[in-house]
Structure 1
Amino acid sequence: MTEEVKLEVVGTAVLLPVQAQPRSSKNQIDGIHDGRLKVCVTQIPEKGKANKALLKVIHEGLKLKRSQIELYKGEATSLKIFRITEISLDELQSQIAKSIK
């Protein structure tokens, strides 16, 4: 069985748990780790630079509009939760599966 991201629906949004990997050699979605989407960014975790880079990688990698994504929890930690709107749980799960193949 392949590991899945543990998504949670809250109201009209889906919460996406992310394991952030700052100071990486590439900006990319790097699979699933402990039920979280692992996202690597080259930025250092200072003054929100890594968080901005994470948003960009997620929105491009999952083919979402930038307006659909916001950092919900985890401003200063590597374990983050992003709030995704205007998408169903199944659609998001499908986009995640496509992004890590």
Structure 2
Amino acid sequence: MSLPDLSARAVPGAVLTVRVTPKAARNRIVVEDAVIRVYVTTAPEAGKANVAVLKLLAKALGLPKSRLSLIRGETGRDKQVRIDG
């Protein structure tokens, strides 16, 4: 699995807007213009997909997942993730 290098966006305090597709065929991140699309194989049950999204984003950003916080969109497909300093 190759992920795009999002390390340039790893600025403390930055908020990333992502569009999530759960139950995808494979885990991946696609960047189209300013939109970050995250595809995860996990089903959206009891927050499992959110955990998978944060884990995948952390890997692409080159950060530990403990530095990412989901601030909006816990139950929706459009989410906002803050990078904590």
TM-score strictly above 0.5: yes
- Structure 1: which 5+ residue stretches go unaligned? 1-6, 87-101
TM-score between the two structures when normalised by the length of structure 2: 0.79
Query: Structure 2 regions of 5+ residues with no counterpart?
Result: 1-8
Paired residue for 1:61?
Answer: 60
Counterpart in 2 of 1:14? 14
* Distance in 1 between residues matched to 2:66 and 2:46, nearest whole Å: 21
Report the Cα distance in structure 2 between the residues aligned to 1:36 and 1:45, rounded to whole angstroms.
21
Shift of the alpha carbon at 1:32? 2.6
Q: How does 1:7-46 map to 2 (within 5 A)?
A: 13-32=13-32, 35-46=34-45
**Scaled by the length of structure 1, what TM-score is found?**
0.68
Residues 50-93 of structure 1: per-residue CA shift (max 9 Å, x gap): 0000011000112112121010100000000001123xxxxxxx
Q: Which has the higher contact order (CA 8 A, sep 6+)?
A: 2
RMSD of Structure 2 on Structure 1 (CA): 1.9
Residue in 2 aligned with 1:90?
none
Which of structure 1's runs of 4+ aligned residues deviate more than 3 A?
A: none
Identity of aligned residues (%): 36
Larger of the two Rg values belongs to structure: 1
Structure 1 position 38, deviation (Å): 0.4
